[in-house]
Copies of this chain bind each other. A is one copy, B any other.
Amino acid sequence: MKLTSKRIVVTGVSSGIGAETARILRAHGAIVIGMDRNEPHLSLDHFIQADLSHPDAIDAAVRQLPDTLDGLCNIAGVPGTADPQRVAQINYLGLRHLCAALLPRIRAGGSIVNVASILGAEWPLRVDLHKALARTDSFADGQAWLAEHPVPPESCYQYFKEALIVWNALQAQPWFLQTSVRMNCVAPGPVFTPILGDFVAMLGKERIDADAHRMKRPAYADEVAAAIAFLCADESRWVNGINLPVDGGLASTYV
C-alpha cells in the first residue's frame, strides 16, 4: 500500500486497533504521530498524551502537531460500559472537533478514517435525529442539542456509533469537494481487544450467542487495522463517504 512518508495522526494508539494501525502504517513507511491517554508500548515517530474528551484538551494537543499532515485515524473510543457523558464526548463530539481542527492541515489527497462499529448498523431507524445532531457545528452546540434530546444511557454506545456513520456520510463529500481530503468509517464486528469483555457485558449473553453462530471468531485487531491502512493509502483514493464493515461477514447475515 502506498503510505511512504505520509504523516498520519492515530488516536487511541496505545492499545488494540490503534496500536495495530500504527504498526501497519509504520511498516509501510508512514510517519505516525500517536495520541492516547495512556503511554504507548510500541515505536512511534511522535507521541502526544491527551484525553480527547474535552475541546480544550484537544486544542492543546493540536497545537503540538505539525502544520501539514496526510491523514488522521480516529480510533480512540470508550465502550458502552463507560460514563455515558464520556461516550458522547470521546466517541462523537471530540472526534468531530479533532477532525475540524485538523482538516486545514491535511493535504489534498489525504484521508480521515473514523472507527465506527457493527453496532451502528441500525442508523436508518433514527436517521432524522442523527442528521439533526450532525447539523450542530461545534462541540458546545452538539452538547446543547444532546441536553435537549437525551440519549438512553444503556444504548448510548450504539447511538453515537450510528450518529458517527451519519455525520461521516453527510460531511465527507462537502469536505472532499472543497479540500480533496477523503473521509470514511470502518465498522468492526467483535474484535479481540482489551475492551472485548465490556462489549460482552453491554450486549448480554443472548446477542453474543446469536452472533457466535453467524461468524468464525472475533477479528484480530490487525485485521481491522489493515482495512484502516487501505483507507489511508492512495489505493483507496476514490473511496469516500463510506462505512466499510470489517467483521468477517457478520453484518451480511442480518440482510
Binding site for B on A (CB under 8 A): 1, 127, 166, 168-170, 172-173, 176-177, 182, 214-216, 219-220, 223-224, 226-227, 229-230, 234-242, 244-253, 255
C-alpha spacing A244/B240, complex, angstroms: 10
B255 touches A170 (CB 8 A): yes
B177 touches A255 (CB 8 A): no
- Given known pairs A173-B252, A255-B170, the reply for A1 and B238 (CB within 8 Å) is no
B238 touches A242 (CB 8 A): no
Protomer copies: 2
Q: Which residues of B contact A127 (CB under 8 A)?
A: 255
Q: Which residues of B contact A172 (CB under 8 A)?
A: 249, 252
- Closest CB-CB distance, A16 to chain B, in whole Å? 15
Q: Which of B169, B176, B224, B249 is close to A240, meaning CB atoms less than 8 Å apart?
A: B249
Q: Which residues of B contact A173 (CB under 8 A)?
A: 214-215, 249-250, 252-253
B177 touches A216 (CB 8 A): yes
